[in-house]
A and B are shown apart, each in its own frame.
Chain A
Amino acid sequence: MIALRWHVGECQRFVEEQPFDAILANKTGWGCVLGAPLESGKPIFSVDIHPDGTKFATGGQGQDSGKVVIWNMSPVLQEDDEKDENIPKMLCQMDNHLACVNCVRWSNSGMYLASGGDDKLIMVWKRATYIGPSTVFGSSGKLANVEQWRCVSILRSHSGDVMDVAWSPHDAWLASCSVDNTVVIWNAVKFPEILATLRGHSGLVKGLTWDPVGKYIASQADDRSLKVWRTLDWQLETSITKPFDECGGTTHVLRLSWSPDGHYLVSAHAMNNSGPTAQIIEREGWKTNMDFVGHRKAVTVVKFNPKIFKKKQKNGSSAKPSCPYCCCAVGSKDRSLSVWLTCLKRPLVVIHELFDKSIMDISWTLNGLGILVCSMDGSVAFLDFSQDELGDPLSEEEKSHIHQSTYGKSLAIMTEAQLSTAVIENPEMLKYQRRQQQQQLDQKSAVARETGSAASVAGVVNGESLEDIRKNLLKKQVETRTADGRRRITPLCIAQLDTGDFSTAFFNSIPLSGSLAGSMLSSHSSPQLLPLDASTPNSFGTSKPSTEPAAAAGTRPAGNSVNKDSVNATSAPAASSPSVLTTPSKIEPMKAFDSRFTERSKATPGAPVLTSVTPTAVERLKEQNLVKELRPRDLLESSSDSDEKVPVAKSSSLSKRKLELEVETVEKKKKGRPRKDSRLMPMSLSVQSPAALTAEKDTVCLSVPAPTLKLPMPGPQRAFTLQVSSDPSMYIEVENEVTAVGGVKLSRLKCNREGKEWETVLTSRILTAAGSCDVVCVACEKRMLSVFSTCGRRLLPPILLSSPISTLHCTGSYVMALTAAATLSVWDVHRQVVVVKEESLHSILAGSDMTVSQILLTQHGIPVMNLSDGKAYCFNPSLSTWNLVSDKQDSLAQCADFRSSLPPQDAMLCSGPLAIVQGRASTSGRQAARLFSVPHVVQQETTLAYLENQVAAALTLQSSHEYRHWLLLYARYLVNEGSTEEGATEGTAASHRAEPPLPASLHRMSGTARHPKGQVACPHLPQLQPGQGHLSPRRAIVGQGDTGRRWSVAAPVEGGSSAGNSSLSPGPPRRAGAGAPPCCPGIREAHRDRPSSARSRGGH
């Protein structure tokens, strides 16, 4: 082992060779070469090596701010590189943190770096690729930032110093902990969304670690406890206090670590017989029987090697399978470092006095053979191990095999490569896949953006280079005078940032100077639109058409497997026939036009060409359209009695035809026979048909595409498995054509529920399967749908569907089948009633190129369709109507601002079907208010209307939890917005009771609020007692009506303990044996109990 140490700023590099007799080599350390930027002796609190091993980040104290530095790794590893002046040592430094940086962590993908500091902030950094090296302006000029890392998100929630941050396996979540005693879980896909705030610690939380399987997260705090939280519901799994009882004094950090095999969790600072230890906690039962002993002072940091090792096989020795083991480094306040193997009882190595001050953080290289250690004394040491010392690392496959054999398949333990091909087995996987696709989209748009901005930064914009622009900037820049006569300059935007911030969309109409304006605007707005409107990714000339078909093709198989799980993840393609048809066709015109036009006139590709061509195409469109209208109908008819994959076949045949045509032209050209007629014919054809398709979408009136509705169907697979739920663990395994009995092939369905297995055989191939805790259902070929109980009893003879299955879904005892002909059925198989009978999706899909992006079946059997245009509809069985429950583009939602009414503690934690379809509320309302200076009255009205919508939507979805949430929010808003009449009081109070007619009465009440004459007194409400309430204090007092009494409202959440709450608690998913329909038990009960009281009170 070799240990190198750089004392930053002191020109020293220590080389320590095993065993521990330190050889002091007085070389020029690169810390010194770097000189000024690293304040010598300033503590370094955190170090983390990038997953690709080429760089590492440090975080600590800067001059008068926190400092994050990204370093090149190769000078650390190789002395030659260190001496080579051409190899940069420092890649980037960021001094944006206002105060000391306590933690830096790379995401597992390496794309992001998260840093947390004493300024209570977490910053997420991403590399900006389009800007080359630059200097930090004014910082002595010599130091170039070789790489540009840009802060893409600032996460604000903590009210105290952030001590540690940690990315979950596969970067789904980012956790942060703080001296405010909380742990916050951020949605790493959608910063700054907070998924959960974990409360429970009563002291400063100083360390975090994720379970490598992704099931838990552990935190250690100054309150002498280590807590393990479940990721399933973000609740406390266990709190371990015993080993920490004796702990006195405080360490700066308590960085605990989970072993890569998941078996052990090792704490920082624990005590055993008044000696400092690192406590080993077994996953099995959270037993605390072992610890690492030996350090003389408190353990500050524990870090497991990411690799699992096995004994090195010696030549000649029998290859007896040795137990794999893990390797762990422990750093302490006593300035020494110990490295342990879990197969040895003594440490592998102990290095005493490696530093002058406490060790603060440790990071292993990904290959597991090196570690970087940083210290409060401002230095970083690198230790290099050999394989002889540690053993043979297991490959990632072996590691994931260990995980799978121990924990079963789950998201966290699958590698990226496996995931892309894996069968979706549980919701997390589905989420993951969806995220991947989203990322792909984002990346694509980012590429488009970057190419756009790169052109504007480095290259030529509208024939003008940046140099030219600069020359004339003074003349061209827009300068105006403000009302008070001051000069106001509109700056020239020369590059977009890849922040992906929604609010930038508001600025699309910035006036830009001179000839730049046009090009800037296009590059400005198009990337913004991409993520919003995923179904038209290619209508901009900027993105490369050639990548698109590949992507579309790539997502199709994924889409198929996703369909099986009935929630369709793909946003753009594959979900329904219009897009399956149009995605390729949309691309084709580009390609076709491009090649044609470059052939002829070398015109610039992309949008301008498209516009110049469409007129001609539109001319022929009408006749073409007739043909087109016929075609799908034929196909539909033919498909209804065959189980072929019609849409796929169709689109491929279409594109194949186009391909053939193109090939034809090319061939002819090659042969050099310029027969004009024949050459033009196929050309116009190949251009026309796709153009017709595109144009048809634009001009909605042309035809009714209803008959063309055709949803994709899952193709038969040989075998697949499906995880229904993880707790209790339940799997469905399907093997098609597994046994042949007398020439008849049978398919096997196997179900495993908490170890109990049953299986059955079916005569036709199983296309898709779904399950819930109550039922398992499979859709087979020949349009058969079979339903079994979870114990394997067949509940019904096979159901014959009207057309082939597209998507199957189960929730509770409800089974939802979406057929390829876009009809939807929902049955309650236990009560054997139909909930939704062959309802067509035509009404919600018709007339546009929308696709179904997500399908949901609530626990009350309400189907919800999320469409690609951001709208979501649920089917109301009692009215037989499709109801719009969410619209992303809804201007109401964008203008509504009810933030002030949100109870602070459970900010956005309301979950349920409505939250799922709508996503989390954004801050757009406030943005709108700020940007458009919406008059307050208008905003108030829109907010009221929005909240009204939400209440109604939650009610329609029979989501009691959300109904309560929105109703309370509504009431709070009314109260906060000065609707201080008794009517509002009644609303809030009544919401405790949650009678169904409330929305209506509330509506009237909001009316009351605006017209104070119609006051309604309600002195008899039990929840309302003078002086009781503690709703946000500044506005707690409401309603000083004619009675002259002062009413206080109990804050909704706190008030939830009152009797009214019990009737509203979400209740178990299904109440066994209940005669009443299991919809919204609370609401129903209330309804029965007090059928008319609300009405009588509400009326005025």
Chain B
Amino acid sequence: MAKVQVNNVVVLDNPSPFYNPFQFEITFECIEDLSEDLEWKIIYVGSAESEEYDQVLDSVLVGPVPAGRHMFVFQADAPNPGLIPDADAVGVTVVLITCTYRGQEFIRVGYYVNNEYTEIELRENPPVKPDFSKLQRNILASNPRVTRFHINWEDNTEKLEDAESSNPNLQSLLSTDALPSASKGWSTSENSLNVMLESHMDCM
């Protein structure tokens, strides 16, 4: 069973200008002392079309993690605009927070991000070359998409053979290559995403 459960993620400094760093306050609970650190990553999906534009904004080790409930703030710099295709600069994209233990990803939290100009003029007539300094980033904090993966939490020395025999395909499943890429997985639901986003923006 998962030794770490994410209780909550609070998006701080939201909405904010594009160049502001991302800040997530993450609360998680650990049922047993962990012998190794957790590794958290923030991945910014530059374009829904391709993984190629994914940017790992930062990765950070968190530890030591004794049993208990813990919190920390994960801050990472804004994405490099140079790596974002012009066509995708404005509009909806995704930011992912992932956590791995011993190199195995066990949770992935995704947020929709809407980048738009604050000035009405720009909004109506967006420049061909996006002006990132005037973009506002709005993370749809109320609607995280959480995917959990079962991983082997045990010390490999102890129960390796056990884990292997029980889940022969687990290892392959867990290797990052085999994970469906975020953008691919999400692009299929883009329509519903937009609908949902709009409705949500209304109530905001």
Contact = CB atoms under 8 A, between A and B. Distances in A.
Q: Do A and B bind each other?
A: yes
Interface of A: 65, 96-98, 119-121, 123, 131, 134, 137-139, 141, 150-151, 154, 156, 159, 457, 470, 473-474, 477, 482, 486-497, 499, 501, 503-504, 506-507, 510, 930-931
B70 A492 contact: yes
Nearest to B145: A138
B142 A138 contact: no
B118 interface: no
Interface string B81-110: 000000000000000000000000000010
B69 A490 contact: no
B26 to A, nearest CB: 8
Nearest to B29: A497
A486 B25 contact: no
30 contacts: A96-B1, A134-B8, A137-B5, A137-B8, A137-B146, A138-B109, A154-B1, A159-B162, A457-B69, A473-B71, A474-B12, A482-B61, A486-B59, A486-B61, A489-B60, A489-B61, A490-B62, A490-B64, A491-B28, A491-B65, A492-B70, A492-B71, A493-B66, A494-B69, A495-B69, A496-B68, A501-B67, A503-B32, A503-B33, A510-B64
Nearest to B147: A138
B70 to A, nearest CB: 4
B45 to A, nearest CB: 18
Nearest to B39: A486
Interface string B47-71: 0000000000011111111111111
A488 B60 contact: yes
B122 interface: no
Contact of B144 (A138, A477, A501): A138
Nearest to B150: A98
Given A134-B7, A497-B67, A487 B60 contact: yes
Interface residues of B, number: 47
Contacts of B61: 482, 486-489
Contact of B68 (A137, A488, A497): A497
B105 to A, nearest CB: 15
A852 B62 CA distance: 45
B197 interface: no
Nearest to A131: B69
Contacts of A65: 150
A493 B1 contact: no
Contact of A477 (B5, B73, B142): B73
B1 A98 contact: yes
B75 interface: yes
Nearest to B7: A137
B64 A473 contact: no
A139 B5 CA distance: 13
Contacts of A487: 58-61
B99 to A, nearest CB: 12
A490 B34 CA distance: 13
B1 A486 contact: no
Given A489-B61, A489-B74, A150 B31 contact: yes
Question: Which 5 pairs from chain A and chain B are nearest by CB?
Answer: A138-B146, A491-B70, A507-B66, A495-B69, A96-B1
Contacts of B143: 141
Contacts of A120: 166
A151 B32 CA distance: 10
B144 A137 contact: yes
A137 B9 contact: yes
A96 B71 CA distance: 21
Given A141-B142, A510-B64, A504 B1 contact: no
B67 A499 contact: yes
Nearest to A477: B72
Contacts of A499: 31-32, 67
A491 B109 CA distance: 19
A165 to B, nearest CB: 16
Contacts of A97: 1
B70 A493 contact: yes
A580 to B, nearest CB: 36
Nearest to B154: A156
B27 interface: yes
Which residue among B35, B60, B64, B155 has the maximum number of chain A CB atoms within 10 Å of its CB? B64
A939 to B, nearest CB: 14
Given A137-B144, A491-B28, 16 more contacts: A98-B1, A134-B7, A134-B8, A137-B109, A488-B61, A489-B62, A491-B70, A491-B71, A491-B72, A492-B70, A494-B68, A495-B69, A499-B32, A504-B66, A504-B68, A510-B64
Contact of A497 (B31, B73, B74): B31
A457 B68 CA distance: 12
Contact of A501 (B25, B32, B70, B73): B32
Q: Is the interface of B mostly helix, strand, loop or mixed?
A: strand
Nearest to B26: A491
A123 B1 CA distance: 9
A137 B73 CA distance: 17
Contacts of B60: 486-489
Given A482-B61, A486-B59, A497 B35 contact: no
A930 B36 CA distance: 10
B140 interface: no
Nearest to B35: A930
A507 B33 contact: yes
Contacts of B28: 491
B71 A494 contact: yes
B41 to A, nearest CB: 11
B16 interface: no
A139 B146 contact: yes
A134 B70 CA distance: 15
Nearest to A478: B72
B182 interface: no
Contacts of A496: 67-68
A134 B5 CA distance: 13
Nearest to A501: B67
A139 B74 CA distance: 22
Contacts of B32: 499, 501, 503
Contacts of A159: 162
Contacts of A510: 64, 66
Contact of B67 (A98, A473, A486, A504): A504
B138 interface: no
A560 to B, nearest CB: 39
Nearest to A495: B69
B6 interface: yes
A528 to B, nearest CB: 11
A503 B68 CA distance: 12
A446 to B, nearest CB: 14
A137 B70 contact: no
Given A151-B31, A488-B60, A473 B68 contact: no
A151 B4 CA distance: 12
Interface string B125-162: 00000000000000000111110001000010001001
Contacts of B5: 137
A976 B76 CA distance: 49
A473 B27 CA distance: 12
A134 B109 CA distance: 18
Contacts of A930: 35, 155
A119 B7 CA distance: 24
Contacts of A482: 61
Nearest to B64: A510
Contacts of B146: 137-139
A510 B1 CA distance: 25
Contacts of A137: 5-9, 109, 144, 146
Nearest to A499: B67
Contacts of B25: 470, 473
B37 interface: yes
A322 B35 CA distance: 64
Nearest to A508: B66
Contacts of B69: 131, 457, 493-495, 497
Which residue among A98, A482, A491 has the maximum number of chain B CB atoms within 10 Å of its CB? A491
B71 A488 contact: no
A252 to B, nearest CB: 20
